[in-house]
């Protein structure tokens, strides 16, 4: 989230798309209700289903799953055509005035730079126009230049008329216009709107572009950086934000530093490739905060390798594993299944051993059958969990999932009992980027151990083997620092201190005065150095554990601004800032757009209010608001994404219709399909029904079907079917129905409903259905159910490589 | 029927049959709150990313190796986001902590087998460490096909962490780095 849960109470308009907070984030949704109650805010819900969020909306519009970009581009068009956008904000805080180079074009569904052989774009075709001599970028403050990003955007969305939105999304034109009017009512200084979304946006082959379109709309309306505004991801797990921040995905080290690639053979080359240079010619210079990249990286290496990291050995950079190509979720199982992968022009083995902690790949999917068959090829599997999850018993999965017989599976499987949340201390980072400390209430039951102890024991045992026996590059194993008071069961407070960072040698200011003695905790990331004098496990979290103590454990409930920032509660990264890009909450002179809801304000000497994004004493006009971008402004045009600088509507990988905008390019031209015999994709003639999946309030992922009290509330799997479709198929409420995709087939109780309706898409009748995803073959035998992801495809977004769980094609029939 | 009405009815029935002793003193004595003597521990709900503050109430004499009993879990009224409220999942957290389906011992399923065998922690840890070492040594790629130093172990994959603490995630990353694992991912992606 750019903002936070409580901040939603400051909004005048709340647009919910790709999420259902009333049911899936109930205690966060209260702040939407609060905004409605105290500010007369309007709640707008756009969703395939008439959810319980929709039931309290002021405006609800139905939409076909996966078509949100068409809807959002329709809103952008409406804002630009009617002038209902915040022009002054766009001029000073966005790339609206930036002029784009001559190579950029968009034609027949393809952006310029497309290479059909590789199915990739050459992104250099989308560069800004630069002066050949000075390299300065050109801007037109009047934003009238036909090649400025605002005018190009206007041209790009011209096609998304209300009629086209209706044709693609199935949203009746009058309902779309109602949404457009309410949402664009915030396109000015006086009003603010927020957008909240969840996995209904991220889990598409065009997921990133959906969020990109939302961000573009919010920038046009001047809603980013302001209390009550922002683009707010309602994340799905207690610490999914923390895991993302702390190198949870293969392409990131901690703090969004990039995992080094094979061609970046030494630290100097790596830092040169990853540190962005400040772009010239911006109306306001930018802080370009990523120019500090070397300080973050060297401090991280110093933390990881401790004394073994020296200037002479590039701080241990050589020991970091380098990647060549993609190692993300779907590739793990594809390479595991096939037993090899192509890397840098050579063949390498695929995974032969898998360790998983608090994670259930068989449930998570997609394409369960492929995952089960991939796991069957492993030499060993380690599952650390609280419950016996489906992954731990994949070798005895029901036959319908298509795995080999148990006797044929040579995998050695270890099931390790780990700790629940109450059985260990430590911090979780919520959607609002707050690191909140929790305290331990009791020990794990039976022989169960805390996850950190299990991990530490395995690590120390491996390290001992390398000490005794040597092996492949032992330095990589032996040089990782593990200096905990109890190495077998590391104290998590000590680990959080490492994450924060400390002075390795005395740290001096410009005048030679010692500001930190060696060994002292740092105050924040501004103290980091690239000479080995500081160590830091995750630069964005620096400030969480200072000499003052554990700031994640702070419990001050004060709210001095009344805006719900709660600066003394826990610690919000970065730098305890509660609203990101908060410089954009004020005008060119530093006056808040709305004095009743100030983010920060310039008092003549300092920025006051929230912790400012920019230097606290830098006068208005010195720095742009978007400090992480080399341009210093918010991007209306994004030359860095893999699938285009503007969001464009493409159908899902399994497309329900031909794309009405460009039939020759129906689905995104840069999405990847896999080619194993387990990767089959359905077509609309065989599988005419659009299907999506979702969560229920009473259930949590693949976890709570082990809790009997929740099984009583939601006893089992069901399929939600529109009334008219059910009638056509002879399916009655409570009877059994069967849903089949190209990959699998599942059966369940039919819930015949009016929450989903027939849609008219491009003149044709299209049905959509859905089902919740919480069940599996483990747990109480009375409450087992099919794995929803048996049906979902191995398709994914080309930027995040997040699978397309939320739109796929199926066939529906009455079960006998 | 509400519980209170049921009790009233039961008392009336008792009076009607005449149970032969004076109940008034017993009724006058205030009932002890279940949570009056509990230890309160501040925690965070482990489910969605609203991350509601919760208070875990446990009873026990705090003797070493004696596991206290969880008697109640409720929303933390001080937590700014949830202000004491919880959803149905949060409200049943007691039954997640104190759950008869929790697994309690390390187990192994041997290649080709159709059942689990219980093993000791030591056997499990040593067995896993041996697997890791032999897989790493066998599949380690020091240089890629282009001759660039890459120092990675394609034979190993590590996933998970989104329901675990930041600190565990950081330790897991150190572990991953020590083994040269390139195949690593989490629920943050999916």
Pair B89, B144 in one domain = no
Structure tokens at A811: 């066939």
Residue A613, helix vs strand vs coil: coil
The residue among B39, B40, B46, B51 with the most chain A CBs within 10 A of its CB, best to mutate, is B51
DSSP for A686-712?
T--EEEEEE--TT--TTTGGG-HHHHH
For residue A430, give the chain B residue with the closest CA: B49
CB contact under 8 A, A414 and B108: yes
A233: which strand partners? A197
pLDDT value of residue A768: 96
pLDDT for res B2: 46
Tokens of A163: 């009629």
What's the mean per-residue pLDDT of chain A? 97
- Contact: B153, A265; criterion CB under 8 Å: no
Give the list of residues 6+ apart from residue A560 with CB closer than 8 angstroms, or none: A567
**Which residues of chain A make contact with B162, given a CB cutoff of 8 A?**
237-240, 243, 248, 358-359
Of A386, A466, A557, the CB nearest to B102: A386
Q: What is the mean pLDDT of residues A566-581?
A: 98
| Chain B partners within 8 Å of A354 (Cβ) | 156-159
Domain count, chain B: 3
Structure tokens at A36: 């409605």
Both B90 and B46 in a single domain? Answer: yes
Residue B41: CATH number of its domain: 2.20.25.90
* Per-residue confidence (pLDDT) for residue B138, from 0 to 100: 98
A745-753 vs A718-722, strand pairing mode: parallel
Phi and psi torsions of A180, nearest 5°: -60, -40
Domain boundary among the residues B97, B118, B153 is at B97
Q: Hey, of A316, A414, A710, which one would you mutate to test binding to chain B, going by the most B CBs within 10 A of its CB?
A: A414
Using a CB-CB cut-off of 8 Å, the residues of chain B touching A242 are 165-166, 169
What 3-state class would DSSP assign to A751? strand
Contact A239 B127 (CB under 8 A): no
pLDDT confidence of residue B130: 98
Counted across chains A and B, CB pairs separated by less than 8 A come out at: 504
Q: Do B42 and B117 fall within a single domain?
A: no
- Looking up tokens 């594809």, which residue turns up? A334
Assess whether the previous peptide bond of A196 is cis (omega < 30° from 0).
no
Nearest CA in chain B to A1: B49
Cross-chain CB nearest to B166 (options A341, A429, A458): A429
Strands (E), B84-165: 107-109, 117-118, 141-143, 149-152, 156-160
Answer whether CATH 2.40.40.20 is correct for domain A689-814. yes
Query: pLDDT value at position B3?
Result: 45
**B136 to chain A: which residues are within 8 Å by CB?**
471-472
Domain membership of residue B135 (yes or no) is: no
Residues of A in contact with B86 (CB under 8 A): 27
- Specify the 3-state DSSP secondary structure of A545: strand
SS3 of A634, please? strand
For residue A239, which residues of chain B lie inside 8 Å, CB to CB?
49, 161-166, 169
The predicted pLDDT at position A816 comes to: 80
A452: phi then psi, degrees, rounded to nearest 5: -65, -35
Interchain CB distance below 8 Å, A238 and B108: no
Q: Identify whether residues B8 and B90 lie together within a single domain.
A: yes
The residue range of the domain holding B121 is 103-130
Asked if B148 and A344 come within 8 Å (Cβ–Cβ), the reply is yes
A321/B150 touch (CB, cutoff 8 Å), yes or no:
yes
Q: Each residue of A477-514: pLDDT tens digit? A: 999 999 999 999 999 999 999 999 999 999 999 999 99
Inter-chain residue contact A321 with B142, CB threshold 8 Å: no
Same domain, B83 and B121: no
Which of B49, B92, B135 shows the shortest C-beta gap to A234? B49
Please give the pLDDT value at position A640: 94
B43 in a domain, yes or no?
yes
Task: List the single residue in B47, B100, B150 with the smallest CB-CB distance to A322.
Answer: B150
Q: Which residue has the higher pLDDT, A413 or B29?
A: A413
Q: Which residues of B touch A335 (CB under 8 A)?
A: 154, 183
Residue of B nearest to A708 (CA): B95
The set of residues, in sequence order, having a beta carbon less than 8 Å from that of A526 and lying 6+ positions away, is none
**Residues of chain A contacting B158 with CB distance shorter than 8 Å:** 354-356
B1: closest CA of chain A, how far (Å): 20
Residues in A closer than 8 angstroms to B52, CB to CB, are 27
Mean pLDDT, chain B cut into blocks of 10 residues (190 residues total): 44 49 67 84 97 96 84 97 98 97 98 98 98 98 98 97 94 98 94
- Tokens (6 digits) for A437: 């400390």
Concatenating the DSSP letter of every residue in A50-109 gives --HHHHT-SEEE---TT-HHHHHHHHHHHHHHHT-S-HHHHHHHBSTTBBBPTT--EETT
- Please provide the DSSP assignment of A250-284 as one string: TTB-BTTPBPPBTT--SHHHHHHHHSPPPPTT-SS
In 3D space, the residue among A165, A166, A146 whose CA is nearest the CA of residue A157 turns out to be A165
Which residue of A19, A253, A306, A357 is the best one to mutate when testing the B interface, meaning the one whose CB has the most B CBs within 10 A?
A357
Residues in chain B within 8 Å Cβ distance of A794 = none
Does residue B145 share a domain with residue B112?
Answer: no
Judging contacts by C-beta atoms under 8 Å, the chain B residues touching residue A536 are none
Give A96: exposed, middle or buried? Use CB within 10 Å, 0-12, 13-18, 19+.
buried
Distances in whole angstroms, Cα of residue B119 to Cα of each of A193, B23, B110, B180: 57, 57, 11, 28
Query: Of A449, A437, A443, which Cα lies nearest the Cα of A423?
Result: A443
Domain for residue B32, yes or no?
A: yes
Indicate whether B17 and B86 sit together in one domain: yes
Smallest CA–CA separation between B36 and chain A, in Å? 17
Q: Which contacts qualify for A459-466: CB closer than 8 Å, 24 or more apart?
A: A459/B174, A459/B175, A459/B178, A460/A487, A460/A488, A461/B125, A461/B126, A461/B128, A461/B129, A462/B129, A462/B132, A462/B133, A462/B178, A462/B179, A463/B178, A464/B129, A465/B129, A465/B130, A465/B133, A466/B133
Q: Are residues B67 and B116 in the same domain?
A: no
Strand ranges inside A561-676, DSSP E: 571-572, 600-602, 607-609
Residues of B in contact with A417 (CB under 8 A): 102-106
Query: What residues contact residue A18 under an 8 Å CB cut-off, 6+ apart?
Result: A68, A197, A198, A199, A200, A201, A202, A210
CB-nearest partner of B89 from A407, A559, A698: A698
Distance of CA A383 to the CA centre of its chain: 25
Considering chain A, tell me which residue range(s) the CATH 2.40.40.20 domain(s) occupy. 689-814
Judged by CB atoms closer than 8 Å, whether chains meet at B133 and A481 is answered as no
Interface test with A, best of B137, B167, B171 (most A CBs within 10 A): B167
A138 or A46, greater pLDDT: A46
DSSP state of A803: B
Beta bridge partner(s), residue A412 = A380
What fold does the segment set A6-97+146-236 form as a domain? Dimethylsulfoxide Reductase; domain 2 (3.40.228)
Among the partner-chain residues A244, A250, A353, the one whose CB lies closest to the CB of B135 is A353
Query: Looking at the predicted structure, is the pLDDT value of residue A297 above 90?
Result: yes
B145 to chain A: which residues are within 8 Å by CB? 343-346
Contact A480 B174 (CB under 8 A): yes
Residue B67 is classified by DSSP as P
Residue B46 lies in a domain: yes
Q: Is B63 exposed, middle or buried (0-12, 13-18, 19+ CB in 10 A)?
A: exposed
CA–CA min distance A462, chain B (Å): 5
Rounded CA gap, B97 and A706, in Å? 11
- Tell me the per-residue pLDDT of A114-167, one tens digit each, with 9 for 90 and over: 999 999 999 999 999 988 887 788 999 999 999 999 999 999 999 999 999 999
Q: Closest partner residue to A426 among B81, B153, B168, by Cβ?
A: B168
pLDDT tens, A230-249? 999 999 999 999 999 999 99
CA separation for the pair A362, A397 (Å, rounded): 10
From A566, which residue of chain B is nearest by alpha-carbon distance?
Answer: B80
* Residue ranges matching CATH 3.40.228.10 in chain A: 6-97+146-236
**DSSP 3-state of A480:** coil
Largest pairwise CA distance in chain A: 83
């Amino acid at each position: 989230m750019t903002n936070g849960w409580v901040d939603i109470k400051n909004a005048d308009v709340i647009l919910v798309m790709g999420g259902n907070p009333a049911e899936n984030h109930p205690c966060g949704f209260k702040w939407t209700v609060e905004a409605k109650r105290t500010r007369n805010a309007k709640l707008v819900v756009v969703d395939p289903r008439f959810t319980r969020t929709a039931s309290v909306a002021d405006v609800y519009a139905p939409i076909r799953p996966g078509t949100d970009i068409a809807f959002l581009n329709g809103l952008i068009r409406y804002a630009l055509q009617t002038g209902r956008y915040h022009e002054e904000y766009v001029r000073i805080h966005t790339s609206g005035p930036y002029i784009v180079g001559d190579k950029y074009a968009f034609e027949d569904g393809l952006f310029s730079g497309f290479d059909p052989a590789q199915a990739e774009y050459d992104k250099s075709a989308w560069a800004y126009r630069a002066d050949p001599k000075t390299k300065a970028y050109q801007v037109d403050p009047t934003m009238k230049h036909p090649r400025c990003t605002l005018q190009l955007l206007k041209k790009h969305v011209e096609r998304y008329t209300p009629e086209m939105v209706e044709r693609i999304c199935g949203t009746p034109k009058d309902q779309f216009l109602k949404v457009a009017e309410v949402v664009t009512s915030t396109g000015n200084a006086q009003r603010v709107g927020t957008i909240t979304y969840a996995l209904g946006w991220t889990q598409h082959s065009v997921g990133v572009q959906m969020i990109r379109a939302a961000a573009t709309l919010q920038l046009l309306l001047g809603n980013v950086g302001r209390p009550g505004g922002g683009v707010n991801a309602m994340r799905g797990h207690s610490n999914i934000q923390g895991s993302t921040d702390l190198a949870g995905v293969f392409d990131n080290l901690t703090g969004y530093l990039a995992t080094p690639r094979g061609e970046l053979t030494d630290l100097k080359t790596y830092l040169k490739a990853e540190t962005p240079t400040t772009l010239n010619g911006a109306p306001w210079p930018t802080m370009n905060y990523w120019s500090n990249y070397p300080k973050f990286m060297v401090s991280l290496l110093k933390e990881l390798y401790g004394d073994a990291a020296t200037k002479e050995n590039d701080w241990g950079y050589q020991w970091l594993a380098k990647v060549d190509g993609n190692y993300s979720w779907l590739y793990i199982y594809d390479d595991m299944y096939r037993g090899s992968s192509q890397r840098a022009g050579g063949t390498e083995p695929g995974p032969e051993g898998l360790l998983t902690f608090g994670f259930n790949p068989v449930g998570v999917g997609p394409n369960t059958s492929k995952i089960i068959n991939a796991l069957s090829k492993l030499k060993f599997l380690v599952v650390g969990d609280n419950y016996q999850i489906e992954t731990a018993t994949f070798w005895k999965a029901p036959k319908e999932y298509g795995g080999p017989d148990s006797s044929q599976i040579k995998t050695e499987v270890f099931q390790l009992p780990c700790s629940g949340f109450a059985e260990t201390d430590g911090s979780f980072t919520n959607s609002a980027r707050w690191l909140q400390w929790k305290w331990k209430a009791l020990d794990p039951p039976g022989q169960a151990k805390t996850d950190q102890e299990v991990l530490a024991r395995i690590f120390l045992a491996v390290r001992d083997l390398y000490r005794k026996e040597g092996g492949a590059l032992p330095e990589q194993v032996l040089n990782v620092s593990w200096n905990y008071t109890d190495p077998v069961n590391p104290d998590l407070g000590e680990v959080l201190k490492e994450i924060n960072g400390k002075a390795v040698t005395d740290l001096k200011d410009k005048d030679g005065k010692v500001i930190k003695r060696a060994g002292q905790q740092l105050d924040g990331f501004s103290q980091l150095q690239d000479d080995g004098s500081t160590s830091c496990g995750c630069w964005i979290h620096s400030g969480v554990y200072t000499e003052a103590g554990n700031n994640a454990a702070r419990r001050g409930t004060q709210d001095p601004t009344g805006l719900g920032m709660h600066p003394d509660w826990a610690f919000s990264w970065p730098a305890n800032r509660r609203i990101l890009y908060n410089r954009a909450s004020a005008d060119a002179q530093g006056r808040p757009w709305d004095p009743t809801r100030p983010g920060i304000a310039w008092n003549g000497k300092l920025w006051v209010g929230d912790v400012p994004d920019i230097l606290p004493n830098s006068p208005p006009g010195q720095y742009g608001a978007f400090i992480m971008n080399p341009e210093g402004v918010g991007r209306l045009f994004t030359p860095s994404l893999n699938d285009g600088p503007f969001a464009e509507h493409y159908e899902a990988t399994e497309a329900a219709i031909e794309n009405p905008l460009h039939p020759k390019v129906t689905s995104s031209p840069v999405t990847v399909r896999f080619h194993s015999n387990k990767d089959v994709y359905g077509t609309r003639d065989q599988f005419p029904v659009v299907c999506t999946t979702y969560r229920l309030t009473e259930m949590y992922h693949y976890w709570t079907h082990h809790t009997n009290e929740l099984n009583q509330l939601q006893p089992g799997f069901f399929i939600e079917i529109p009334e008219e479709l059910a009638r056509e198929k002879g399916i009655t409420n409570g009877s059994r129905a069967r849903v089949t995709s190209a990959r699998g087939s599942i059966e369940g109780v039919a819930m015949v409903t009016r929450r989903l309706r027939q849609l008219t898409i491009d003149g044709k009748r299209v049905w959509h259905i859905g089902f919740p995803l919480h069940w599996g073959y483990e747990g109480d035998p009375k409450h087992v159910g099919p794995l929803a992801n048996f049906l979902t495809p191995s398709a994914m977004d080309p930027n995040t490589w997040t699978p397309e769980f939320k739109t796929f094609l199926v066939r529906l029939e009455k079960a006998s | 029927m509400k519980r209170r009405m049921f009790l009233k009815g039961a008392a009336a029935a008792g009076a009607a049959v005449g149970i032969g002793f004076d109940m008034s003193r017993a009724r006058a004595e205030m009932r002890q709150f279940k949570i009056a003597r509990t230890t309160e521990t501040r925690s965070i709900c482990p489910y969605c990313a609203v991350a509601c503050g919760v208070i875990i109430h446990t009873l026990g004499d705090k003797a070493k190796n004696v596991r206290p009993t969880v008697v109640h879990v409720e929303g933390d009224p001080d937590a700014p986001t949830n202000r004491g409220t919880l959803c149905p999942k949060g409200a049943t957290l007691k039954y997640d902590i104190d759950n008869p389906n929790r697994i309690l011992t390390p187990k192994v399923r041997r290649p080709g087998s159709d059942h689990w065998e219980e093993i000791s922690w030591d056997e499990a840890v040593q067995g896993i460490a041996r697997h890791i070492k032999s897989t790493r040594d066998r599949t380690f790629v020091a240089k890629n096909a282009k001759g660039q130093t890459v120092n990675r172990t394609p034979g190993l994959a590590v996933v998970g962490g989104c329901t675990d603490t930041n600190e565990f995630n950081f330790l897991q990353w150190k572990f991953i780095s020590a083994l040269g694992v390139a195949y690593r991912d989490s629920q943050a992606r999916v």
